[in-house]
Structure 1
Amino acid sequence: MLEEYDFRNDTVNPDLKIELKPQIQAQPYQEESLSKMFGTGRARSGIIVLPCGAGKSLVGVSAACRKSCLCLIATSAVSVDQWTEQLKFWSTIQEDEVCRFTADDKEDLHRNAGIVVTTYNMVAFGGIRSKESEKLIEEIRNREWGLLIMDEVHVVPAQVFRKVISITKSHCKLGLTATLVREDHRISDLNFLIGPKLYETNWLDLVKCGFIVNVQCTEVRCPMTKEFMEEACEFPIRYHEQQRGHKIIVFSDKLFALTEYAIKLHKPMIYGATCHDDRKIVLDKFENSTDVNTVFLSKVGDNSIDIPEANVIIQISSHAGSRRQEAQRLGRVLRAKDRPHGQVAVGKEEYNAFFYSLVSTDTEEMYYSTKRQQFLVEQGYSFKIPTNLPPADSGPDLSYSRRDEQMALLHKVMTARDDKVGSELLEDADDITNSQRGVKSKVRLRVHPSDMLCSKSDLPRACTKYVLYQQLHH
């Protein structure tokens, strides 16, 4: 039996006077997903699975327009801002009817506020709160919510985040995600925490209809030399920036690699300790400035951050064998770009997006890369493995192409502290077993993102991939 909420006959909870704007038209697959939730005239609790960039936020807003008080849980303060903007863009909600509850924004939950947008961490936090936070969390606990929307619901089985279910009282729960997978086999816990899967669509089916872009996936295998390894990241950055005019995201789980390359290339970066205001500055410049075409992200960019301008993903470091992370990162470039009406992104059509995953040969990365790609392969994607990237004649242009540069960087890694060469671990990262985890990083880098923003004339010519540090450290 599915848990159902008879919202039409609910006379206790007040209706939220909100509806979709007249010009907003949901796509057929979005309408179908909503029919699975509301098809009986009542609201069913459960999970809707749609690819990144396919409009999960519109599905969530449409569900909110059906009935009363809404509590929306997101994964980060950046996604809270984005959800708030989406609510205002898609619906007729008024400014004073939305309340944000994050570490930086603790807006008063007044009588008119029928929607609260917050994060899992803010609700599930078990430590000592400020008076302001304690007052707000008590109001959230005591209020009876008509609908609880949980974005990136795959994180909910985590030991910390599942507390959100017991803290909030709601008649109906809707989980949204693009990747209903975890590596710790806890994904089945969502059946009793939220409800069953109500709807899922295949990614390539939406590609064929032009709803999301067609992505060319490439695994770049980086051979190791005796002391070091060949660099393979600069060529796609230079090619896509200078010849295609694309926007590029470079992902790295390793903070050492993230900061080393971002600083050397004078590119902005975002990682766990980057404050909310600095994240907004970087993302705004990436979106609106032609001077900033590449941004470096740690795993904080895996979920919920909406960057529709991005065309290219380059992954230089990843989280062991996480299928979810691989798919979520590819999803950062899936949102459909403007194209002539009726034109579909196929083959080498100019609106294609590109995903590069850099893998060190003769290391455990080879095993993990195959495991990580399983989810995407099941969706119908395939990975090219080029043999000439970067081209043989591009070596002298690369950073660390000289032996003295290689040895200097190698020495820097070998002498770095454990907390600087480990992986950045976040609260939702426990879907990988402890044996696969890195060192929990406590590094607090004193590099302001705006210090790395540069004009096109200042763009350096080099980029590199370096993944040997962990093996060398061991």
Structure 2
Amino acid sequence: MTPVLKYDRGTLVMYEVPSVVSHLFTWDARSQLYRARGQLYREVSELLRGHLVVYRDEAALFQKLELTFAREITPYLHQREALQVWKAAGRQGLVVLPTGAGKTLVAQLAMAATPRSTLICVPTIDLLHQWYSGLLAAFPDANIGLLGGGSRDETPVLVSTYDSAAIHAEELANRYGLLICDEAHHLPSDFTRVIAEMSLAPYRLGLTATPKRSDGRETHLDTLLGPVVYQKQPGDLKGLALSDYREVQILVRLSPAEQAHYDELIATRNAFLARMNIQLGSLDGWKQFVMQSGTLEGRRAMLAHREARTLAYGTEGKLRVLEEVLANHPQERTLIFTDDNETVYRISREFLIPAITHQTPVKERHTLLQAFRDGRYRTLVTSRVLNEGVDVPEASVAVVLSGTATEREHIQRLGRILRKVTGKQATLYEVVTEGTSEERVSKQRKGQWTPRVQAGPVWESVNAPD
């Protein structure tokens, strides 16, 4: 009897398993059949065909598409290279490019080169709409739909939020041959990783400015999507695909009174951490600190930590620096980033600058961004809401007053001022309080992450694209 490969609730199932793939399946006594993760579909298929095993594939429902790329645009060299390397790696893997370097176009080129039913996952509703508009312009004849934000389409090309794709992972898993994950660092979380684990998609493309995660799970992307196959840093594209730019770090000092209070707060925190043998630099250190904050002493230490952090982030010296930077760039569009909403609103009040935080209603935010785009507002101040997933109008100056800890956040904020404009000189000011933990984490962030690059076999099948 010819073995049959079927799909069931995010898994591959077979009643009779050929020996060449038996190590990939597990016996399910309840169902009286063998199961394997949907993600193993490509490996199972390659082994069966490679050993000339005759079988019937009833698992995959991928569609072959007719995609006509309608955009009249010449890709940059790095975009052509990224596509070429991804294809050579078997159409699996992660492409790491800075914000503003055209990751979306790389994905559209990958879709044109891999014309199969495609699921695209994005982290926010803003990105959902941006991708949808971009795909309509790139592939006007394609049937493109949305999942999330009140939409639930069933189309050969589907753009979904991560949350919606995870909720419907079982029903999506065998319908899409190409899986594209924008801001792919979101994928390894406990809730969203099922999108890739259940998916049968033999072709996978991840896009991100930096894969790094605070929990170290960026290594999981190797198995969920494939390893890093192409990477460029902002400096690699400076003056080419991105505007020329410079980074300026400005150190400010706490006043004597602020410094004395800061030292007292840090001493209170560190004494508690030492007693409890907690190291904040370790992977679980912060979690342990939060758990201990339920005790009286732990709460006192946590409050001291937060007050010290607020003091370093919001020292008066930073506001004097901001005033000087704004005076030095009177005609340039400027974005001011802080780590917390309290500082955003303080700057908004004292400098009469429009503010955007997560509390800003959607319509008001769109109005403010449009006014910034039109030039009616020259400056905006925000916390983290513009880091990712928002189409921010072109600016040439960014001032980071606080929030310098992560490489991703830094690259995202830098990317907000790097969109290519002839003759543009962009400047990123990073204002750091000297002698505090803020200075330490800023130095730690500047260490380079080295990706592990490997090329896999090219996927060959009757469904393989040219």
Shift of 1:303: 2.1
Among 360, 369, 377, the residue aligned to 1:274:
360
Distance (whole Å) between structure 1 residues aligned to residue 198 and residue 347 of structure 2: 42
Distance (whole Å) between structure 2 residues aligned to residue 357 and residue 202 of structure 1: 18
Distance (whole Å) between structure 1 residues aligned to residue 118 and residue 350 of structure 2: 45
| CA deviation profile, 1:184-214 (whole Å, cap 9, x unmatched) | 3221111111111121234323225x21112
Shift of 1:169: 4.4
Structure 2 counterparts to residues 114-125 of structure 1, below 5 A: 114-124=156-166
Shift of 1:140: 5.1
Would the aligned equivalents of 2:406 and 2:445 in 1 still touch at CA under 8 Å? Answer: yes
Would the aligned equivalents of 1:323 and 1:371 in 2 still touch at CA under 8 Å? Answer: no
Distance (whole Å) between structure 1 residues aligned to residue 376 and residue 393 of structure 2: 17
Shift of 1:139: 8.4
The residue number in structure 1 matching 2:328 is 239
Percent sequence identity over aligned pairs: 25
Distance (whole Å) between structure 2 residues aligned to residue 149 and residue 78 of structure 1: 17
Distance (whole Å) between structure 2 residues aligned to residue 281 and residue 167 of structure 1: 40
* Larger displacement relative to structure 2 (258-267 or 29-38): 258-267
The residue number in structure 2 matching 1:363 is 436
Shift of 1:143: 5.3
Shift of 1:11: 9.7
Distance (whole Å) between structure 1 residues aligned to residue 409 and residue 350 of structure 2: 26
Distance (whole Å) between structure 2 residues aligned to residue 252 and residue 185 of structure 1: 25
Structure 2 counterparts to residues 152-301 of structure 1, below 5 A: 152-166=183-197, 168-208=199-239, 210-225=240-255, 226-227=257-258, 229-230=316-317, 231-240=320-329, 242=330, 245-287=331-373, 289-301=374-386
Shift of 1:34: 1.0
Shift of 1:108: 4.1
Q: Determine whether 1:46 maps to 2:88.
A: no
Distance (whole Å) between structure 2 residues aligned to residue 283 and residue 203 of structure 1: 24
Shift of 1:306: 3.2
The residue number in structure 1 matching 2:290 is none
Residue identity opposite 1:158 in structure 2: S
Using a 3 Å threshold, how does the CA distance of structure 1 residues 56 and 2 change in structure 2: closer, same or farther? farther
Structure 2 counterparts to residues 312-391 of structure 1, below 5 A: 312-318=397-403, 321-337=405-421, 339=422, 350-375=423-448
Residue identity opposite 1:229 in structure 2: E
Shift of 1:48: 1.0
Distance (whole Å) between structure 1 residues aligned to residue 227 and residue 191 of structure 2: 21
Distance (whole Å) between structure 2 residues aligned to residue 161 and residue 253 of structure 1: 26
Using a 3 Å threshold, how does the CA distance of structure 1 residues 83 and 189 change in structure 2: closer, same or farther? same
| CA deviation profile, 1:135-164 (whole Å, cap 9, x unmatched) | xx3785365112111111122223333233
SS of alignment partner, residue 385 of structure 2: helix
SS of alignment partner, residue 272 of structure 1: coil
Using a 3 Å threshold, how does the CA distance of structure 1 residues 61 and 154 change in structure 2: closer, same or farther? same
Distance (whole Å) between structure 2 residues aligned to residue 138 and residue 371 of structure 1: 37
The residue number in structure 2 matching 1:407 is none
Shift of 1:308: 4.9
Instruction: Specify the structure having the higher radius of gyration (Cα).
Output: 2
Distance (whole Å) between structure 2 residues aligned to residue 102 and residue 265 of structure 1: 38
The residue number in structure 2 matching 1:17 is 66
Would the aligned equivalents of 2:197 and 2:224 in 1 still touch at CA under 8 Å? Answer: no
Would the aligned equivalents of 1:69 and 1:146 in 2 still touch at CA under 8 Å? Answer: yes
TM-score by length of 2: 0.66
Residue identity opposite 1:82 in structure 2: Q
| CA deviation profile, 1:408-439 (whole Å, cap 9, x unmatched) | xxxxxxxxxxxxxxxxxxxxxxxxxxxxxxxx
Residue identity opposite 2:178 in structure 1: L
Number of residue pairs matched by the alignment: 340
Shift of 1:3: 5.7
Among 140, 151, 155, the residue aligned to 1:107:
151
Would the aligned equivalents of 1:271 and 1:300 in 2 still touch at CA under 8 Å? Answer: yes
Distance (whole Å) between structure 1 residues aligned to residue 360 and residue 332 of structure 2: 25
Distance (whole Å) between structure 2 residues aligned to residue 279 and residue 69 of structure 1: 34
Q: Determine whether 1:70 maps to 2:114.
A: no
Residue identity opposite 2:151 in structure 1: E
Shift of 1:59: 0.4
Shift of 1:323: 1.9
Distance (whole Å) between structure 1 residues aligned to residue 132 and residue 116 of structure 2: 17
RMSD: 3.1
Distance (whole Å) between structure 2 residues aligned to residue 371 and residue 283 of structure 1: 33
